[in-house]
């Protein structure tokens, strides 16, 4: 990744990703509504919501809360730009973790009981998906020999053929990262929950609008993680990757509508179980393939 | 114990029309018995004010001296008690709901013929001028609506 | 020494159906103590009985609560009929029971939806309420109101349902059963739902008896008490009635009891539609309650046993009217289940008594 490609990635991701994220979130709401037998909002409803929030009066309990959320947004944009410019996957993963951490700090800074509990749950969520998310670049390195995302475009076969279990593991934690049932403990987009609005309870107006925009950027980035498994050195690769991302998003919507929200003990236990299982068997399969077939 | 128990019903819903209807873009649906608003056939009404005594929401006011029957449609809870106790069956419940308005207003109906003496046949002519006391004013006539409408009265 | 936070739960809270305030003392995510506070929706309706004609007051009793609306008008009418010695025609009694059982079906479907919403299963919530709409359509077609029916009055009922319409109602209910069974299957066998319901808010049979719990809350802990077994009113026509009882005593059992009660209500309606006699709809009640007369009446509302007491003073205004609602009885048991539970279980514990705070506070 050069400076030029990074700048290009920044501009392209910075401008296109919110559009795509908004459309994806809007489609999510309409499909969810149709699955439930309702009509659903217009497609651009997330945009209308953000515009409405930006127009609201500024009411903050604590002056730095908006600043932390702004940092979270900037880090998410940087992470996505590096990813789509073909940069280092490990850097991407850690920048996104830092973004989530600032989100948690913003919630703690409000010092309200609901926001604190929501922040605690968010920390538990991070604990449950971080192992899998860190293993993903490690296995990517095992398969391609480099941490650079751009190496995927020069592969002979898509990574899914060599590390399918890591893809399954990623799908499992993607539910948590995209904030969907059964693992939407800290901040659910729609369902009522005991924490009122969880981690974003004390956020309103401009701050909440920035949270929503961060969510759009993150959605596009995480679907990019999933699409990475379907990309190889073929002219059709990017199309296949895009279709795979959309199919995975649809699957996540169906999962969201088929499960209740579980308690944190179940989420942590299941996520680590799946992570360990997928990691162990993937290591074995990659080593076996490397030693005996190559 | 299993999972994805509700997925079949959800996917079926995708193929069906939504169960909700976008109201008010699509008009509301009523049944013949829906309790919407009260109308009074003022020609049958004898202004006995039993309906006023029985109304739990005190939405009705009947003034026999002036010949007026007034309802506040925004206080009315559409219980139907007045319809049931009316001795002349002049009150009826119509299905349409009272439309939203910026200000609450009353709906007043005026009995067309002043009750001078005894019984009067329905729709009969106005009394002859000679029957009136000298100097008495003709009571004010409110323009009678064609049929009771939903908004205002 | 763990830090204690005090969370004010309610009165406005997206997961609560009605305003109830709880001060929850938390240690991390575990509730150490719960201090309830009620009184946010007190409207003084029992005082209003001194100012409204006792026959008109039935319209006020049905507005005590939106969910158990018909039940309260029925209970009030029964009490006044006991007070004045009025004999209700048999067709009216059966029609009242049919409407009350439909009211029970709609109330339990509403509760199942709220329970699903409380543990984050929004889809299941929407499906339960979608089925409930069919019951509300039946109400609208037969009485004119979806939630507040205004169908019951002192002396009988206000309007009739023709026998043909009754068979139509049975047909609609039978058409509902297949989809309803899918929902019950989700509630009782889905693994994520079980993660939230099993073992939550356990109350043993002795504890339930000590706290004097009523309704499905008690029946889920093994106490087989149901006022309908005494055969008052139209229930006397039923060939057999057994209360639905479960033994586990936790949230799962309460969900099971209410889910099965819906099916039982549909069976009751089917049986009564076949046995309904013809006749008048109501008798004209003249006069006023005798001075010093008192009467009581009990009713099995969707939430449990409801107790009514009325006292006359010779005029057309009653001197006292008191309702002891099932939720008021169950609050003690609820506060007990809240001690020591996880914070994520707090809405579930509150919801499993099917709280109707409007009824409790009138």
Q: What percent of chain C has pLDDT over 70?
A: 99
Q: Which of A154-158, B34-38, C123-127, C165-169 has the lowest mean pLDDT?
A: A154-158
pLDDT at C257: 92
Question: For residue C351, what is the domain's CATH number?
Answer: 1.10.645.10
Asked if pLDDT for residue A190 goes beyond 70, the answer is no
Pairing of strands B60-63, B91-94: unpaired
* Whether C27 contacts C2, CB under 8 Å: yes
Asked if pLDDT for residue A193 goes beyond 80, the answer is no
Whether the CB of A42 is below 8 Å from some CB of chain B: the reply is no
Task: Check residues A187 and A219 and name the one with the higher pLDDT.
Answer: A219
Asked if pLDDT for residue C74 goes beyond 80, the answer is yes
* Chain C: partners with 3+ C-beta pairs within 8 Å: A, B
Residue A34 and residue B11: Cβ atoms within 8 Å? no
Find all residues with CB under 8 Å of C181, minimum gap 6, and list them: none
pLDDT at A188: 61
pLDDT at C75: 92
- A252 closest CA partner among A24, A83, A45, A46: A24
Q: Which of B132-141, C36-45, C170-179, C269-278 has the lowest mean pLDDT?
A: B132-141
Residues of A in contact with B4 (CB under 8 A): 258
- C308 closest CA partner among C56, C74, C90, C149: C74
pLDDT at A44: 92
Per-residue pLDDT tens digits for A120-172: 888 888 888 899 888 888 888 888 888 888 887 788 878 888 888 888 888 88
Domain count, chain C: 1
Minimal Cβ distance to A192: which of C118, C196, C343 = C118
pLDDT at B123: 43
- C279 closest CA partner among C95, C45, C12, C41: C95
Q: Which of C150-159, C228-237, C251-260 has the lowest mean pLDDT?
A: C228-237
Shortest alpha-carbon distance between residue B34 and chain C (Å): 4
Q: What's chain C's average pLDDT? A: 88
Minimal Cβ distance to A39: which of B7, B14, B18 = B18
**A294 band by pLDDT with thresholds 50, 70 and 90:** low
**C351 band by pLDDT with thresholds 50, 70 and 90:** confident
For helices A89-109 and A113-144, angle between their N-to-C axes, nearest 10 degrees: 180
> Looking at residues C219-248, what average pLDDT do you find?
86
Residue C150 and residue B78: Cβ atoms within 8 Å? yes
Half-sphere exposure of B122 (CA within 13 A, CB side): 8
Whether the CB of B22 is below 8 Å from some CB of chain A: the reply is yes
Q: Where are the alpha helices (H) located in chain B, listed in sequence order? A: 7-15, 50-54, 81-85
* Whether A117 contacts A210, CB under 8 Å: no
Residues of C in contact with A262 (CB under 8 A): 192, 195-196
Residues of A in contact with B22 (CB under 8 A): 39
Whether the CB of B19 is below 8 Å from some CB of chain A: the reply is yes
Whether the CB of C185 is below 8 Å from some CB of chain A: the reply is no
pLDDT at A50: 92
Per-residue pLDDT tens digits for A249-287: 999 988 888 888 888 888 889 889 999 998 888 888 878
Asked if pLDDT for residue B145 goes beyond 50, the answer is no
Task: Check residues A118 and C302 and name the one with the higher pLDDT.
Answer: C302
Asked if pLDDT for residue A73 goes beyond 90, the answer is yes
CA distance C44 to C51: 12
| Six-digit token string for A185 | 């403990």
Find all residues with CB under 8 Å of A283, minimum gap 6, and list them: none
> Looking at residues B108-136, what average pLDDT do you find?
54
pLDDT at C180: 92
Whether the CB of B23 is below 8 Å from some CB of chain A: the reply is no
Residue B3 and residue A33: Cβ atoms within 8 Å? no
pLDDT at C19: 84
pLDDT at B122: 46
Whether the CB of B50 is below 8 Å from some CB of chain C: the reply is no
* Whether C203 contacts C333, CB under 8 Å: yes
> Looking at residues A55-65, what average pLDDT do you find?
80
Residues of C in contact with B80 (CB under 8 A): 144, 150, 158
* pTM score above 0.90: no
CA distance C350 to C10: 11
DSSP one-letter string for B98-125: PPP-SS---EEEE-SS---SS---TTPP
* Whether C241 contacts C228, CB under 8 Å: yes
Minimal Cβ distance to C190: which of B2, B53, B77 = B2
pLDDT at C233: 79
Asked if pLDDT for residue A192 goes beyond 60, the answer is no
> Looking at residues A51-58, what average pLDDT do you find?
88
| Six-digit token string for C342 | 């996880």
* Whether C312 contacts C305, CB under 8 Å: no
Asked if pLDDT for residue A51 goes beyond 90, the answer is yes
Whether the CB of A266 is below 8 Å from some CB of chain B: the reply is no
Domains detected in chain B: 37-96 (3.30.70.20)
Lay out the sheet containing C30-37: strands in order across. Answer: C4-9, C21-27, C30-37
Residues of B in contact with A35 (CB under 8 A): 10-11, 13-14
Shortest alpha-carbon distance between residue B6 and chain A (Å): 6
Find all residues with CB under 8 Å of C189, minimum gap 6, and list them: B1, B2, B5
Range(s) of the domain holding residue C308: 4-361
CB atoms within 10 A of CB A138: 15
What are the boundaries of each domain within chain A?
A: 3-293
pLDDT at A1: 67
Whether the CB of A260 is below 8 Å from some CB of chain B: the reply is no
Residues of C in contact with A268 (CB under 8 A): none
**B147 band by pLDDT with thresholds 50, 70 and 90:** very low
Per-residue pLDDT tens digits for A206-247: 888 999 999 999 999 999 888 888 888 887 888 888 899 999
pLDDT at A98: 93
CB atoms within 10 A of CB B114: 16
Residues of C in contact with A266 (CB under 8 A): 195
**B120 band by pLDDT with thresholds 50, 70 and 90:** very low
Minimal Cβ distance to A36: which of B4, B13, B21 = B13
Q: Which of A149-163, A168-182, C50-64 has the lowest mean pLDDT?
A: A149-163
**C199 band by pLDDT with thresholds 50, 70 and 90:** confident
Asked if pLDDT for residue C308 goes beyond 60, the answer is yes
pLDDT at B124: 42
pLDDT at C1: 53
């Amino acid at each position: 990744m050069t400076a030029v490609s990074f700048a290009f990635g920044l501009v392209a991701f910075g401008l296109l990703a919110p559009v795509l994220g908004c459309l994806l979130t809007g489609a999510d709401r309409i499909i969810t509504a149709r699955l439930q037998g309702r009509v659903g909002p217009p497609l651009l409803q997330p945009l209308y919501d953000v515009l409405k929030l930006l127009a609201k009066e500024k009411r903050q309990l604590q002056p730095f809360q908006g600043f932390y959320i702004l940092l979270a947004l900037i880090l998410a944009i940087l992470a996505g730009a590096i990813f789509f410019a073909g940069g280092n996957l490990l850097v991407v993963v850690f920048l996104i973790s830092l973004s989530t951490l600032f989100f948690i700090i913003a919630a703690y800074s409000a010092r309200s009981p609901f926001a604190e509990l929501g922040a605690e749950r968010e920390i538990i969520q991070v604990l449950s998906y971080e192992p899998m998310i860190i293993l993903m670049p490690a296995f990517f390195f095992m398969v391609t020999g480099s941490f650079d995302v751009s190496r995927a475009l020069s592969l002979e076969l898509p990574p899914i053929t060599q590390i399918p279990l890591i893809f399954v593991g990623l799908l499992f934690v993607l539910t948590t990262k995209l904030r969907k049932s059964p693992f939407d403990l800290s901040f659910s987009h729609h369902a009522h929950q005991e924490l009122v609005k969880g981690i974003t309870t004390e956020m309103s107006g401009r701050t909440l609008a920035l949270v929503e925009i961060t969510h759009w950027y993150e959605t596009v980035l995480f679907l990019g993680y999933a699409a990475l498994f379907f990309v190889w050195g073929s002219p059709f690769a990017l199309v296949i990757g895009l279709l795979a991302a959309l199919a995975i998003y649809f699957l996540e919507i169906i999962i969201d509508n088929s499960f209740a929200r579980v308690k944190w003990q179940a989420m942590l236990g299941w996520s680590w179980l799946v992570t360990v299982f997928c990691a162990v068997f993937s290591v074995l399969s990659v080593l076996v393939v490397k030693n005996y077939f190559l | 114990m299993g999972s994805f128990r509700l997925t079949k019903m959800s996917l079926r819903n995708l193929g069906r029309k939504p169960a909700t209807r976008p109201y008010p873009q699509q008009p509301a649906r009523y049944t013949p018995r829906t309790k919407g608003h009260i109308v009074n056939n003022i020609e049958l009404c004898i202004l006995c004010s039993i309906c006023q005594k029985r109304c739990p929401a005190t939405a009705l006011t009947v003034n026999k001296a002036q010949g007026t029957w007034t309802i506040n449609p925004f206080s009315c809870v559409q219980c139907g008690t007045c319809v049931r106790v009316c001795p002349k069956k002049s009150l009826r419940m119509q299905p349409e709901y009272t439309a939203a308005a910026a200000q609450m207003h009353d709906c007043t109906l005026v009995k067309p013929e002043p009750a001078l003496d005894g019984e009067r046949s329905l729709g009969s002519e106005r009394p002859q001028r000679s029957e009136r006391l000298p100097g008495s004013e003709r009571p004010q006539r409110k323009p009678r609506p064609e049929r009771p409408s939903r908004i205002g009265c | 020494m763990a830090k204690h936070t005090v969370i004010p739960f309610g009165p406005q809270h997206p997961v609560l159906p009605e305003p109830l305030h709880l001060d929850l003392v938390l240690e991390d995510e575990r509730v150490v103590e719960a201090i309830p506070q009620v009184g946010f929706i007190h409207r003084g309706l029992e005082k209003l009985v001194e100012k409204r004609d006792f026959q008109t007051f039935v319209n006020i009793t049905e507005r005590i609560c939106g969910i158990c609306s018909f039940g309260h008008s029925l209970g009030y009418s029964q009490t006044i009929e006991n007070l004045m010695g009025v004999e209700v025609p048999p067709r009216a009694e059966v029609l009242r029971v049919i409407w009350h059982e439909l009211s029970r079906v709609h109330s339990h479907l509403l509760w199942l939806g709220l329970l699903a919403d409380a543990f984050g299963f929004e889809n299941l919530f929407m499906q339960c309420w979608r089925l409930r709409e069919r019951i509300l359509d039946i109400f609208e077609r037969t009485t004119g109101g979806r939630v507040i029916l205004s169908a019951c009055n002192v002396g009988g009922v206000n309007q009739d349902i023709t026998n043909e319409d009754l068979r139509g109602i049975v047909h609609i209910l039978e058409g509902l059963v297949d989809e309803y069974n899918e929902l019950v299957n989700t509630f009782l066998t889905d693994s994520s739902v079980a993660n939230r319901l099993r073992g939550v808010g356990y109350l043993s049979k002795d504890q339930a008896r000590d706290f004097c719990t009523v309704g499905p809350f008690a029946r889920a802990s093994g106490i087989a008490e149901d006022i309908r077994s005494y055969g008052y009113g139209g229930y006397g026509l039923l060939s057999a009635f057994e209360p639905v009882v479960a033994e586990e005593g936790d949230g799962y059992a309460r969900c099971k009891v209410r889910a099965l009660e819906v099916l039982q209500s549909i069976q009751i309606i089917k049986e009564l539609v076949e046995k309904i006699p013809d006749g008048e709809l109501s008798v004209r009640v003249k006069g006023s309650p005798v001075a010093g007369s008192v009467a009581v009446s009990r009713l099995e509302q969707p939430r449990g046993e409801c107790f009514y007491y009325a006292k006359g003073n010779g005029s057309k205004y009653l001197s006292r009217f008191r309702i002891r609602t099932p939720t008021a009885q169950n609050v003690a048991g609820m506060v007990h289940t809240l001690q020591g539970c996880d914070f994520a279980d707090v809405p579930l514990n509150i919801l499993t008594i099917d709280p109707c705070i409007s009824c409790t506070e009138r």
